[in-house]
Structure 1
Amino acid sequence: MPGPSRGPVSGAALVLRPSLRRYLSTVKWSLLPILVLLAALLFRGGGVGAVVSVMVIALASAIAPVYFRRAAVTVTPTEIAVTGLLRTRRTPRDAVGSIVAVALPRTHKNSKSLAHLYVLGRGGRRIARLKGSRWVEDDMRRLIAALGVETTKLGRLASPRALARRYPHAVPLLERYPVLAGALVVVPSVAAIFLVSLEYSS
């Protein structure tokens, strides 16, 4: 878990970026079902399936490096800016109300946990989030120190849904219900395999 804040940092901007190495080391097993589905499309889906599989792999291979080069959390004396794949959201420093540090399991509640950091506005809405699958804990500590606001350390919770019960605006809907998130990936993929198989078996 990230340690305590040492007080605000003034002067030059602090720029933090996610770690691609951290991401690859923490999510490799969760990507396995998707890779199996893509392999099924590639080898069992005929020409169309192979094209779809190759396009998905190529798109993912292109987007991930771009995201990790572009994504950043920047803290200046006046604002905190969160840059994602497509846009940058800027929030005045004085709108930051609190920081929540929590350990959440990678997948199910008995799996190994990772540190997460949530920067919340005064109304409890999420301004920034550093997920343990992408960000290293040293950078979480640097962000706490740079912002210099109250930090609540919750320890380990059983799931993102448990965190949402305390901070309802901090956790996205799909993270509260991982089964739904998985269905949005698996169901269309299985449907695509089925339709392609029907096309080539007729």
Structure 2
Amino acid sequence: MLRPDVRKGVFVLVALAVAGTAIVAAILIGDAPTVFAPVVAAAFALMILLAVGGLLGARIILSPREIVVKWLFVRRRRPRAHVAEAVRATITAPRGAAGESLFLLGPRRDLVIRISGAGYTREDLDRLVDALGVPCRVFDGPVTPGEFAESYPGLLPQAERHPYRIAFAVTGVVCAAVLALVLVSVATAS
């Protein structure tokens, strides 16, 4: 059984607490209405509670029959016999952010399960791959979603392969909704 690295989890918790405290203090000190302070504090408290729940509840369980990946409200169970290959890659996101992922693939290179390496150490992921006893391909350095999709088509969701398209589509829908509301309010006001 693998549990998330506590040091990474504590870092996230401290960062959330510091950010929340700084924003609430800025609201109270600055010109913003003080009614926003409890709203922001509640939002950060909720994020901290979710992060604690994720840190305490997340785990990867490898049994002779199955692999189970748990995180907060999500539990994915897959038969261990379906895993034929592993792929480790650090996939870059817009603005240079990168996250390591472990893809467990079936015999036809279909995705059995994807494990985010964000909460786990590299050593933990190495032990998991060793325990699975399947061949593992490791990309040398960070790769873009497009580069990864060339080698392993269909493993990444559309939102990860084309984040700007999704952002522009959402922005377009929001702008159209706002425009529709303005037109309806203008038409009903006259």
TM over 0.5: yes
Q: Is the 8 A contact 1:126 1:170 kept in 2?
A: no
Instruction: Choose which of 129, 152, 171 in structure 2 pairs with 1:144.
Output: 129
Q: Could you tell me how far 1:27 is from its partner in structure 2? A: 10
Residue 111 of structure 2 is matched in structure 1 by: 125
One-letter code of the match for 1:65?
V
Residue 53 of structure 2 is matched in structure 1 by: 66
Q: Could you tell me how far apart the structure 1 residues matched to 2:111 and 2:54 are?
A: 24
Residue 8 of structure 1 is matched in structure 2 by: none
Structure 1: which 5+ runs fail to align?
A: 1-14, 189-202
Q: Is the 8 A contact 2:13 2:52 kept in 1?
A: no
Residue 97 of structure 1 is matched in structure 2 by: 84
Higher relative CO (Cα under 8 Å, sequence separation at least 6) belongs to 1
Residue 10 of structure 1 is matched in structure 2 by: none
Q: Is the 8 A contact 2:103 2:111 kept in 1?
A: no
| Distance verdict in 2 for CA 1:83–1:94, change over 3 Å | same
Residue 46 of structure 1 is matched in structure 2 by: 33
Residue 9 of structure 1 is matched in structure 2 by: none
One-letter code of the match for 1:145?
D
Give RMSD over aligned pairs: 3.7
Residue 19 of structure 1 is matched in structure 2 by: 5
Residues matched between the structures, number: 164
Q: Give the greater-gyration-radius structure (CA).
A: 2
Q: Could you tell me how far 1:156 is from its partner in structure 2? A: 1.4
**TM-score normalised over the length of structure 2:** 0.67
Q: Could you tell me how far 1:94 is from its partner in structure 2? A: 1.2
Which stretch has the larger CA shift, 18-27 or 53-62?
18-27
| Distance verdict in 2 for CA 1:59–1:82, change over 3 Å | same
What secondary structure is seen at the aligned counterpart in 2 of 1:46?
Answer: coil
Residue 188 of structure 2 is matched in structure 1 by: none
What secondary structure is seen at the aligned counterpart in 2 of 1:175?
Answer: helix
Q: Could you tell me how far apart the structure 2 residues matched to 1:35 and 1:105 are?
A: 27
Q: Could you tell me how far 1:142 is from its partner in structure 2? A: 0.6
Q: Could you tell me how far apart the structure 1 residues matched to 2:148 and 2:63 are?
A: 28
Q: Could you tell me how far 1:136 is from its partner in structure 2? A: 0.3
Q: Is the 8 A contact 1:83 1:89 kept in 2?
A: yes
Percent identity, please.
27
Q: Could you tell me how far 1:153 is from its partner in structure 2? A: 1.8
| Distance verdict in 2 for CA 1:23–1:62, change over 3 Å | closer
**TM-score normalised over the length of structure 1:** 0.64
Structure 2: which 5+ runs fail to align?
A: 175-190
